[in-house]
Amino acid sequence: MRKLLLLGDEAIAQGALDAGISGIYAYPGTPSTEIMEYVQASEYAAQHNVHALWSANEKTAMEEALGMSYAGKRALVAMKHVGLNVAADPFMNAAITGVNGGLVVVAADDPSMHSSQNEQDSRYYGKFAQIPVFEPSTQQEAYNMTRNAFDLSEKYGVPVLMRITTRLAHSRSQVETRPPLPQKPNRLPEDPLQFVLLPALARKRYKRLLTLQEEFLKASEQSPFNSAVLNPVGTTGIIACGTGWNYLNECFPEGNYPGPVYKLSQYPLPVQHIQKIFEQSSAILVLEDGYPFVEEMLSGTFPASKQIKGRLDGTIPRDGELTPDIVASAFGFPAKQTFAPPPVVVPRPPSLCNGCSHADLYLALDEVMQEFGKGKVFSDIGCYTLGALPPYNAIYSCVDMGASITMAKGAADAGMSPSVCVIGDSTFTHSGMTGLLDAVIENSPITVIISDNSATAMTGGQKSHATNRLVEICKGLGVSPDHIVTLVPLKKNHEQNVQVLRQEILYRGLSVVIFQRECIQTSARRHKKN
Amino acid sequence: MIPKGKHDMKTDIILCGVGGQGIISISAVLGVAALEENMHIKQSEIHGMSQRGGAVQSHVRISSRPIASDLIPLSSASLILSVEPMEALRYLPWLSPDGWIVSNSQPFINIPDYPSLDSLMHEYSNYKNTVLINADEIASLCGSARASNMVMLGAASRFIHLKPESLVLGIKTLFAQKGPSVIDLNLKAFEAGMQASAER
């Protein structure tokens, strides 16, 4: 047994390697990125030929993992919570097809939106797809659960969802590992029609999934990760989900809880066990990170019999992640006297690096757009989103991966002129290409600026699928070669860049302007290595 | 100074600074040292956008007993260890009434409204347990200003329930791949930080 100091992300990756995966599929996204990066850095994975390359987006990742499962092998697929929106189509249908080799899907949620556009709670996706969901409290549990999740996935022939949050994903602690299992052999599904979701066949597969619900419930009730602490001193029942369990124990380090406790880390909700907690309680407090997922279910399952406290009744704030202090306050502990941060402390927001290529692009763009007024540039998700802030104030949207191109087209359809968008190279190959095809079909009068720094920079400079391919991709999609222009965003090229950009923005058809210069972070790292 | 007793040894540290100042390295050294002494440890970081020259922080909890929460509760950190003087003050709500602030005195100015150094230093005079060190200068004297993070770790080591030799092992482990000269530089910086702190 080895003892390692691992992030929650890394514990899952190590757990998956030790569970005998043959591949991991992912697109970078905070706080999930380190799952793939850990496998990429693992000598064991390299020696055992475990697939560990990035996918174009979360949907392709999910489908590739499902294909590996089809072939009989264990596959892990990892993404941030909003990535599961992109992958929702194959995710939902994989619950119907079921799996062959074990398939575990990791969704890393980001309550408090440390690095995200929303704080959606992926447990709803698990319930939506009607599959088992794991929610670890600790790094050790994340490691252990990953193996159990693969076993469960193969036992019932369904994908299993592992839901974590930033706090666990990006916190390190000791993890004891077990000897690794060998990879599975290639083995095709027994039923050759299992993965064919024609309506008549899909109906049968769906009934199978519905029949399994009872088994999933039993698995939750017998799960080693769910447990009750009964014989309480008081009558405030507590349901502690995932990291909520940690904060409960921070408040009551001796285990002297004010009522019966249920530690909940595997779903569906083990109703019978929770019933016991209800019987011993006058009121119930739900500690959960994310949405009031369990809280809502409880009020539906045990209507009006007991007071249920949590995020809905205001005992815990409706948004933001749990903290030990929020949980302490939910138990009525008096607020602590703290030192206040003095007024001399001012915010220090993130900013583009000195020498960043996006900065030179925005200086050129701002100069051109002065002539056309504010509010006519859409953008996307990446470091370049910081162009919305001073000193640039250059962009007016950041919604989801790829939305800059399609929103620019929609606004042009509505008559807005000019209609411009800025998208990164990796975001473009993630979800921008199909939108560009829409614009090609109608020769929409939009200017698509691809800020190509040849990296997925915001998540740490991972390789971008777009590198050295952008011109060919745009040509292949049907953009006129006369209006595919490549510029180099450097101070010395500023005047020329402004002139060419102005020309393309004035053009009343579709043009693509690629501002190409490598991310200075990845460039510096590369030069250091050589 | 916190008495280093044998029972229930616990250090809750808010580690802070600006993205790129080497906080992750301090955290990694503490991790190796804690494992070496068979102590429990939790290190909670925020990655992502915060790397881009913004404020960064990490909660590091080291204890002889199992640790429940990855986050340090308010008003209970025994130490704020900062590589930047304004950043240290940002996390004062986490500092326990008897806790220590150990900070680099040299500002990292990448925002237009950074406060005057006088007003910052005036603020420091309001707290009894502070150690301010010119880590940039000390690190430069050791060979490179880049080692200022290890100067700060050395300066804070007397407030952390880990043996200096374990921290030294952590530095050797962390920089092993970078060769003996980088290890020596960082060890020298660590020791110079310890000495500068002892003189306060």
* CATH number of the CATH domain containing B129: 3.40.920.10
Q: How many domains does chain B have?
A: 1
**pLDDT given at position B14:** 97
- How many beta carbons lie within 10 A of that of residue B143, not counting itself? 15
Instruction: Report yes or no: B81 and B26 within 8 Å, Cβ to Cβ.
Output: yes
CATH 3.40.50.970: which residues of chain A?
3-213, 357-527
In a domain, B3, yes or no: no
Tokens linked to A301: 């399952």
Confidence of residue A528 (pLDDT cuts 50, 70, 90): confident
d(CA A312, CA A308): 9
Residue A162 has pLDDT above 90, yes or no: yes
**pLDDT given at position A371:** 96
- A223 Cβ contact partners less than 8 Å away, ≥ 6 residues apart: A265, A266, A270
Instruction: Report yes or no: A350 and B56 within 8 Å, Cβ to Cβ.
Output: no
- A74 Cβ contact partners less than 8 Å away, ≥ 6 residues apart: A16, A19, A20, A21, A22, A68, A101, A102, A103, A104, A150, A154, A183, A184
Instruction: Report yes or no: A79 and A27 within 8 Å, Cβ to Cβ.
Output: yes
ipTM surpasses cut 0.95:
no
- The minimal CB distance from B75 to the residues A172, A337, A349 is found for A337
* Interchain proximity B70–A246, CB inside 8 Å: yes
The mean predicted confidence, pLDDT, of chain A is 96
CA of B109 to nearest chain A CA: how many angstroms apart? 10
CA of A167 to nearest chain B CA: how many angstroms apart? 7
Residue A343 has pLDDT above 70, yes or no: yes
Report helix, strand or coil for A458. coil
**pLDDT given at position B54:** 85
In a domain, B4, yes or no: no
**pLDDT given at position B21:** 84
Measure the N-to-C terminal CA separation of chain B; round to a whole number of Å.
12
Residue A346 has pLDDT above 90, yes or no: yes
Residues of chain B by 3-state class (helix, strand, coil), percent to 5: 45, 20, 30
Q: What is the CATH number of domain A227-330?
A: 3.40.50.920
Q: Which fold has domain A357-527?
A: Rossmann fold (3.40.50)
Residue A74 phi, psi dihedral angles, 5° rounding: -80, 135
What global pTM score does this model have? 0.96
A338 close contact with B: CB closer than 8 A: yes
**pLDDT given at position B53:** 79
The mean predicted confidence, pLDDT, of chain B is 92
Residue B13 has pLDDT above 60, yes or no: yes
Residue A161 has pLDDT above 60, yes or no: yes
**pLDDT given at position A44:** 98
CA of B165 to nearest chain A CA: how many angstroms apart? 19
Q: Find out if CATH 3.40.50.720 is the number for domain A3-213.
A: no
A·B CB contacts under 8 A: 150
- A192 Cβ contact partners less than 8 Å away, ≥ 6 residues apart: none
Residue B5 has pLDDT above 60, yes or no: no
Beta strand segments in A20-64, E: 21-26
B51 close contact with A: CB closer than 8 A: yes
* Interchain proximity B41–A174, CB inside 8 Å: yes
Mean pLDDT of A40-69: 98
* Nearest residue in chain B measured CA to CA from A249: B68
Instruction: Report yes or no: A422 and A398 within 8 Å, Cβ to Cβ.
Output: no
Mean pLDDT of A173-193: 97
* Nearest residue in chain B measured CA to CA from A351: B52
* Residue range B127-150, pLDDT digits in tens: 989 999 999 999 999 999 999 999
- The minimal CB distance from A342 to the residues B45, B54, B123 is found for B123
- Candidates A37, A166, A172: best to mutate against B (most CBs of B within 10 A) is A172
- The minimal CB distance from B47 to the residues A31, A173, A351 is found for A31
Q: Which residues of B touch A348 (CB under 8 A)?
A: 18, 53-55, 86-87, 110-111
**% of chain B exceeding 90 in pLDDT:** 84
Confidence of residue B70 (pLDDT cuts 50, 70, 90): very high
* Interchain proximity A173–B41, CB inside 8 Å: yes
CATH 3.40.50.920: which residues of chain A?
227-330
* Interchain proximity A167–B119, CB inside 8 Å: no
d(CA A170, CA B47): 8
B120 close contact with A: CB closer than 8 A: yes
**% of chain A exceeding 90 in pLDDT:** 93
* Interchain proximity A346–B46, CB inside 8 Å: no
Q: What is the DSSP string of A271-298?
A: HHHHHHHHHT-SEEEEE-SSSSHHHHHH
Mean pLDDT of A104-130: 96
Residue B48 has pLDDT above 60, yes or no: no
Confidence of residue A126 (pLDDT cuts 50, 70, 90): very high
Mean pLDDT of A313-325: 96
**pLDDT given at position B81:** 98
* Residue range A379-399, pLDDT digits in tens: 999 999 999 999 999 999 999
- A469 Cβ contact partners less than 8 Å away, ≥ 6 residues apart: A429
**pLDDT given at position A487:** 98
**pLDDT given at position B1:** 36
Closest C-alpha among A22, A54, A50, A49 to residue A37: A54
Residue A486 has pLDDT above 70, yes or no: yes
Mean pLDDT of A252-276: 95
B95 close contact with A: CB closer than 8 A: yes
In a domain, B112, yes or no: no
* Interchain proximity B44–A383, CB inside 8 Å: no
Is residue B110 exposed (0-12), middle (13-18) or buried (19+ Cβ within 10 Å)? middle
Asked which of A145-154, A309-318, A515-524, B49-58 is least confident by mean pLDDT, the reply is B49-58
In a domain, B147, yes or no: yes
* Residue range A452-465, pLDDT digits in tens: 999 999 999 999 99
Instruction: Report yes or no: A460 and A54 within 8 Å, Cβ to Cβ.
Output: no
Confidence of residue A357 (pLDDT cuts 50, 70, 90): very high
**% of chain B exceeding 70 in pLDDT:** 94
**DSSP H helical ranges for A345-402:** 357-369
* Interchain proximity A167–B44, CB inside 8 Å: yes
- Candidates B27, B39, B42, B49: best to mutate against A (most CBs of A within 10 A) is B49
CA of B8 to nearest chain A CA: how many angstroms apart? 13
Instruction: Report yes or no: A31 and B67 within 8 Å, Cβ to Cβ.
Output: no
Query: A430: which DSSP letter?
Result: I
Task: Domain of residue B39: give its range.
Answer: 10-106+117-198
- Candidates B39, B67, B70: best to mutate against A (most CBs of A within 10 A) is B70
In a domain, B1, yes or no: no
b/e sequence B79-108, b meaning 16+ C-beta within 10 Å: bbbbbbbbbbbbbbebbbeebbbbbbbbbb
Confidence of residue A197 (pLDDT cuts 50, 70, 90): very high
- Candidates B8, B71, B95: best to mutate against A (most CBs of A within 10 A) is B71
B121 close contact with A: CB closer than 8 A: no
Q: Which residues of B touch A164 (CB under 8 A)?
A: none
Residue A427 has pLDDT above 90, yes or no: yes
CA of B43 to nearest chain A CA: how many angstroms apart? 5
**pLDDT given at position B8:** 72
Q: Which residues of B touch A344 (CB under 8 A)?
A: 86, 89, 115, 119-120, 123
**% of chain A exceeding 70 in pLDDT:** 99
Instruction: Report yes or no: A191 and A31 within 8 Å, Cβ to Cβ.
Output: no
B26 close contact with A: CB closer than 8 A: no
**pLDDT given at position B3:** 42
